[in-house]
Amino acid sequence: MAKVPADIPAAPGALPLAGHLRQLLRDPLGFVSGLPAHGDLVRVRFGPMTIVVVCDLETTLRVLRDDRIFDKGGLLYDRSRVVLGNGLITCPHADHRRQRRVLQPAFSSERLSRYAPVMTAHAREAAEQWHDGQIIDVNKLMMQLTERIIAEVMFSDALAPAALSTALDDLGVVIPGIIRSMIMPPQLAWLPTPADRRFRRAHTRLRATLGEIIAERRADHADRGDLFSAMLSTAAASREDDDGPLTDTEAIDQAVSFFVAGTETTSSGLAWALYALGRHPEICERVRAEVDEVLGGRPGTYADVPRLELTGRVVTEALRAWPPAGWLLTRTVARDVRLGGHDLPAGTTLGYSPYVIHHRPDLYPAPDRFAPERWDAAHRPRREAFIAFGFGARRCIGDQFAFAEVVLALAVLVARWRFEPLPGPDVRPSVAAGLAPHRLRMRVADHR
């Protein structure tokens, strides 16, 4: 573990052994939000581990731009790599460029146009299952919706209904297991508890299922229009250049990564957007009017996404206010470097927070106010100040996929239902690896 320079200011209140763990566990968002008051770089200690947290935009952008020096790593990524493998999300710089080149065609506009009808169809199916006045568990239902969308987008008809149900059940065990392993102390992360045994069985079974699909796809060479076909066909085409094809293990790693990323963070973004519209019914009515005008009752397509301007601004503002992909992410310094006026040795763990950047009042006036209008052309913040999908070479490869999915699903759900908050205190973020609404339940009222 690299020795962090003593001239970097430390966050106050550290305890001798636990460091800042008590503050972090008591109020994680409040803790990280207070760090910029102590400097652009701040030392934070979690038990024996010290992290240098980057708090200002320009230094954060430098870290995100230069992934050769500031490589994917640190506790969160090291833990998730054990489960996700060496896929695009978790792989180090040395592997990233090749993987990105091989996989990028799977997320082309032409491919996204094929995926959009799947997104809309599953959203319409979900919307038809509720009844007027029903109280719904928003987190659970949005997770189920995004699971079914990503499953069909990835596999089309490759899984029989029973196998699909098993795969989705396994995914429902794997995702909490990944989050649990990322936030637990290292000595407790992999204890053979009943939950850990369930996780290991589900993880093994899910990878085996994906391996069987890969073997079938490699044998028939057919393009079925899904993400798996796109991934394997572009990987096969790469035999003609220096990249080389994906091995079966690499293909499984990518599939697990897409499966996890395509459900957890997307469902949280959609849930936050519904929560915000429930708290701001006047904005919800404007969104509904836009959906009626643009779609006129027909299913939305990928070409409609930019035309649903207000809906898109609502989604962007929800992702700003509650960035679901992570409230504290880490990088590892690959070689000695000077950053923010300080000399950092190789091996230093850096942290950065999309939540902190998105709530800086110098970048976003009144940052705690939900204000979709801040994304109007006349008021739009700096493009670089929005890092919900990352920035630079490691920006999320599926950012346009996820944005289109949330916009199209939100359009379907709002056209059919009003989402009303229940009495009681405001919903708080549930802080784990990402940000999701904590126990978000809402009443749906039939709009028709």
pLDDT digits (tens, 9 = 90+) for 386-415: 999 999 999 999 999 999 999 999 999 999
Residue 23: in which H helix or E strand, if any? helix 21-26
Mean pLDDT to the nearest integer, 62-91: 86
- Asked if 101 and 81 sit in the same domain, the reply is no
Q: Each residue of 315-346: pLDDT tens digit?
A: 999 999 999 987 889 999 999 999 999 999 99
Query: What letter represents residue 119's amino acid?
Result: M
Residue 100 lies in a domain: yes
Q: Each residue of 241-275: pLDDT tens digit?
A: 555 667 888 888 988 888 888 888 999 999 999 99
- Asked if 147 and 295 sit in the same domain, the reply is yes
- Asked if 300 and 349 sit in the same domain, the reply is no
Domain enclosing residue 28, as ranges: 1-85+327-362
Q: What is the number of alpha carbons within 13 Å of residue 16 lying toward its C-beta?
A: 0
Residue 180 lies in a domain: yes
Q: Each residue of 135-174: pLDDT tens digit?
A: 999 999 999 999 899 988 988 766 677 777 888 788 778 7
Band of residue 180 on the pLDDT scale cut at 50, 70, 90:
low
What does the pLDDT read at residue 308?
Answer: 98
What does the pLDDT read at residue 26?
Answer: 86
- The pairs formed by 136-140 with CB atoms below 8 angstroms and a separation of 24 or more are 136/441, 136/442, 136/443, 136/444, 137/440, 137/441, 138/271, 138/274, 138/275, 138/419, 138/437, 138/440, 138/441, 138/442, 139/267, 139/268, 139/271, 139/436, 139/437, 139/439, 139/440
What does the pLDDT read at residue 380?
Answer: 87
Residue 161: in which H helix or E strand, if any? helix 161-183
What does the pLDDT read at residue 258?
Answer: 87
Q: Each residue of 94-115: pLDDT tens digit?
A: 999 989 988 888 899 999 999 9
What does the pLDDT read at residue 116?
Answer: 96
- Asked if 32 and 44 sit in the same domain, the reply is yes
- Asked if 322 and 438 sit in the same domain, the reply is yes
Give the domain CATH number at 321.
Answer: 1.10.630.10
pTM, entire model:
0.92
CA distance 111 to 115: 6
- Asked if 331 and 401 sit in the same domain, the reply is no
The number of distinct structural domains making up the chain is: 2
| 32-36, 216-220, 367-371: segment of lowest average pLDDT | 216-220
Residue 27 lies in a domain: yes
- Asked if 148 and 287 sit in the same domain, the reply is yes
- Asked if 21 and 122 sit in the same domain, the reply is no
Residues contacting residue 233 through CB under 8 Å, at least 6 positions apart: 223
Residues in the chain: 448
* 396 assigned to a ligand binding site: yes
Residue 258 vs residue 182, higher pLDDT: 258
- Asked if 403 and 332 sit in the same domain, the reply is no
- Asked if 322 and 340 sit in the same domain, the reply is no
- Asked if 343 and 236 sit in the same domain, the reply is no
Residue 87 vs residue 440, higher pLDDT: 440
DSSP assignment string, 253-303:
HHHHHHHHHTTHHHHHHHHHHHHHHHH-HHHHHHHHHHHHHHHTTSPP-GG
Mean pLDDT to the nearest integer, 58-76: 92
Give the domain CATH number at 21.
Answer: 3.30.43.20
Residue 33 lies in a domain: yes
Residue 270 lies in a domain: yes
* Strand partners for 46: 19, 49
Residue 177 lies in a domain: yes
Residue 370 lies in a domain: no
- Asked if 305 and 343 sit in the same domain, the reply is no
Residue 380 lies in a domain: no
- Does residue 136 contact residue 271 with C-beta atoms inside 8 Å? no
CA distance 130 to 123: 12
